[in-house]
Structure 1
Amino acid sequence: MNNVLDIDWLKLALFSLILLVPLAINARYKLGIAKSTTISVIRMTIQLVLVGMYLEYLFQLNSLVINIVWLAIMIIVGASSIVGKANLPKYPLIFPLIAGLTLSLLPLLVATTIGLIRPVPFYNAQYIIPLAGMLLGNSLSSNIIALQNLFTAFEQRKSEYEAAISLGATPKYASFPFVQDAIRKSLAPILASMATTGLVTLPGMMTGQILAGANPMIAIKYQLVIMLAIFVMLSVSVVISIEMTLHYAQTKEGRIKVKFINKNS
């Protein structure tokens, strides 16, 4: 297989002119997203360039301590993003989310690196950081969906919940149908994605490896590992996050202490 082909910065800049298409759509339909689109693209570009420069340094340094610190930063930022996007108060909910992401991520990193890929050293940043990024990145949306559906149910189905409490049900038992529904909805996108992977879509990791010159069958093996790990990560992180969130959000009597934040107020 050929080595990866580099992309000239000037050609990349010219390619970015395709952004004129969504900007034209914005103007035609008066969507009012030109400013946010421009800011998002600029932020994405700056962040990716800075991260690329940092990762080059990180890969060369390959320090266990620095890798652990970087993973901790990724987890904390991810947990903060989940709470913010779900329009829920960061405190105390950020703590169960950090726990959920950590307890689901670390065993999977150990299983994929030490048990399967076996890089040398085992904490090789070239493998640890991208794997953690893919697992965490794919977990964010599912956790957001889970929390939004859970607390929406507490608001919209309040009478059903309070009726169960008044009849003697424990808060955990009364909220169980809400938890079930939240978990089902949070896992629906990944289940649909897995069902169509290979036929409808070629996942990013597999495509990236093939473009980088890897053998397609090797790329497929890595993609299978990632898809299975992502599904497990989603399932475990959502369950831990919801269970621990309920511990913080419910009183012993069943009162819900956490409410959505009204960003318009």
Structure 2
Amino acid sequence: MTVDLSIASLLWMYALILVPVAIFFYLQLGIIRDTLFALIRMTAQLFLVGFYLKYVFQLNNPLVSLLWVALMLVVANLSILNKAGLKRSVFFWRLLAGVAGSTLLAGGWFILVVIRPEPIYDARYMVPIIGMILGNCLRSNVLSLERFYSGIRKNENEFTTYLMLGANLHEAVRPYLRDAIKAAVNPSVATMATMGIVSLPGMMTGQILGGAMPMEAIKYQIGIMICIFTAMVVAALVNIQLSLSVAFDDHQRLQQDIFQ
């Protein structure tokens, strides 16, 4: 059983935030307000989600669970577009298809093929697993899209030269695509290489704190990491490919009005 945190315990945790706030103040970084706002927003969102998920798990209704997953996908997609600096009106549906497809593919494989809970739509498995995969896809897509389009914009002459030498659009963007995918997956490769020695991952730690045996938690963690990594790579590649048709005009020129 996990130790229940009292209100006093939470207040002690909030006191710890004074350390980075003091550092920000000393260095005059100008991000104290944003940090405190993010902390308050995180707290409010997590408590609201906690109350909602309590009833989602109690109902254990597949339609309710799928609606929650759909909401997560939409919010994640909007966050990707905002952080990557791309216009929602241009990319929303294309990127939503890529994120949803890769997340549901990996999550569905883990739930339907690997763990096979009873019932198969058990919200206690569906919602957290999809959430973990989606959270990592969000970060990788922001990195890949931002690196891809910033690379082309910074090396416009090089990109144009590829086209002038006879390359088609897909051939011309390949160097920037490769760089973007590597940027998106390198942090996860480093994390997997040191997992268990340098750090204990969140899912494994949570299960152990919840009373699961370490070997059982380890097997779950290995499975979810493989699913996360697969979804990240697929989403990064698919979303860049899906975005090409609206990002470039008929003459293979990058359209500047697609950026925020």
User: What interval of TM-score do these two structures reach, taking the shorter chain for normalisation?
Assistant: over 0.9
- Structure 1 length-normalised TM: 0.94
Shift of 1:17: 1.2
Match of 1:92 in 2: 90
CA distance in 2, matches of 1:38, 1:226: 32
CA-to-aligned-CA distance 1:31-89 (integer Å, 9 cap, x gap) = 22221121111111111000000000110111111111111111111111011001121
Runs of 5+ unmatched residues, structure 1: none
Between Structure 1 and Structure 2, how many residues are aligned? Answer: 260
Structure 2 counterpart of 1:228, from 223, 226, 235: 226
Tell whether 2:74 aligns with 1:57. no
Q: What is the CA distance between 1:261 and its match in structure 2?
A: 4.0
* Aligned partner letter, 2:142: I
Q: Distance in 1 between matches of 2:25 and 2:159?
A: 46
- Give 1:1-265 correspondences, 5 Å limit: 3-258=1-256, 261=259
Q: Which runs of 5+ in 2 are unaligned?
A: none
Of all paired residues, the percent bearing the same amino acid is 39
State the Cα distance separating 1:121 from its structure 2 match.
Answer: 1.3
Question: Which letter does structure 2 place at the counterpart of 1:229?
Answer: C
CA–CA distance in structure 2, aligned partners of residues 18 and 64 of structure 1: 40
How far is the alpha carbon of 1:156 from its aligned partner? 1.2
TM-score normalized with structure 2 length: 0.95
Q: Which amino acid aligns with 2:49?
A: V
Amino acid at match of 2:147: N
Question: Which has the larger displacement, 147-156 or 20-29?
Answer: 20-29
Contact kept, 8 Å, 2:90 with 2:258, in 1: the verdict is: no
SS in structure 2 of the partner of residue 199 of structure 1: coil
User: Structure 1: which amino acid aligns with 2:80?
Assistant: I
Secondary structure of 1:252's match? coil
